[in-house]
Amino acid sequence: MIDPLEPVDVRMRGFARRTTVEDALRWLDGKTERLDEQIVPLAEAAGRVLAREMVSRVDVPPFDRSMMDGFAVCAADTLGASPYNRLVLQVVGESLPGRPFYGRVCSGQAVRITTGSLLPVGADAVLPVELVEIAVGDASHSRMFTQGEVSPGRHVGRIGEDVEAGTTVLPADRVLRPQDVGLLASIGVTDVPLVRRPLVRVVVTGNELLPAGSPPRPYRIADSNGPMLSALVKRDCGVIVEVDIVPDEPGTMLEAMRSEADLVLVSGGSSVGQEDHAPAVLVEHGELPIHGIAMRPSSPTGIGRLDGRLVFLLPGNPVSCLCAYDFFAGRAIRALGGRSKDWPYRRTTLPLARKIVSAVGRLDYMRVRLVEGLVEPLAIAGASILSSTTRADGFVLVPANSEGYPPGAEVEVYLYDIIS
Stretch 286-345 residues interacting with a copy of itself (CB under 8 A): 316, 318, 322, 340, 342, 344
CA atoms lying within 13 Å on the CB side of residue 161: 11
Per CB under 8 A, the segment of 171-179, 278-286, 396-404, 405-413 that binds a copy of itself is 171-179
Give the integer Cα–Cα distance in Å for 92 and 111. 6
Give the integer Cα–Cα distance in Å for 358 and 400. 8
Q: Provide the minimum distance between the beta carbon of 265 and a copy of itself in the complex, in angstroms, as a whole number.
A: 13
- Per-residue binding letters, 194-233, with a copy of itself (x by CB under 8 A): ------------xxxx--xx--xxxxxxxxxxxxxxxxx-
Give the integer Cα–Cα distance in Å for 243 and 24. 26
- Per-residue binding letters, 235-274, with a copy of itself (x by CB under 8 A): x-------------------------------------xx
Which of 19, 77, 81, 100 contacts a copy of itself by CB under 8 A?
A: 100
Give just the sign of the alpha carbon dihedral 319, 323, 326, 332: negative
Contact 367, 377 (CB under 8 A): yes
CA atoms lying within 13 Å on the CB side of residue 10: 13
Residues 378-397 close enough to bind a copy of itself by CB under 8 A = 382, 384-387, 389-390
Q: Provide the minimum distance between the beta carbon of 342 and a copy of itself in the complex, in angstroms, as a whole number.
A: 6
- Per-residue binding letters, 108-137, with a copy of itself (x by CB under 8 A): ----x-xxxxx---------xxxxxxx---
- Per-residue binding letters, 49-88, with a copy of itself (x by CB under 8 A): -----------xxxx-x-x-xx------------------
CA proximity to 306, closest of 285, 277, 291: 285
Find the distance separating the first CA and the last CA of the chain, reported in whole Å: 48
CA proximity to 311, closest of 294, 332, 292, 293: 332
The per-residue DSSP string of 106-169 comes to PTTEEEEE-TTPBPPBT--EEEEGGGEEE-TT-TT--EEEE-S---TTTTEE-TTSSB-TT-EE
Which of 150, 169, 282, 396 contacts a copy of itself by CB under 8 A?
A: 169
Q: Provide the minimum distance between the beta carbon of 163 and a copy of itself in the complex, in angstroms, as a whole number.
A: 5
- Per-residue binding letters, 338-377, with a copy of itself (x by CB under 8 A): --x-x-x-x-------------------------------
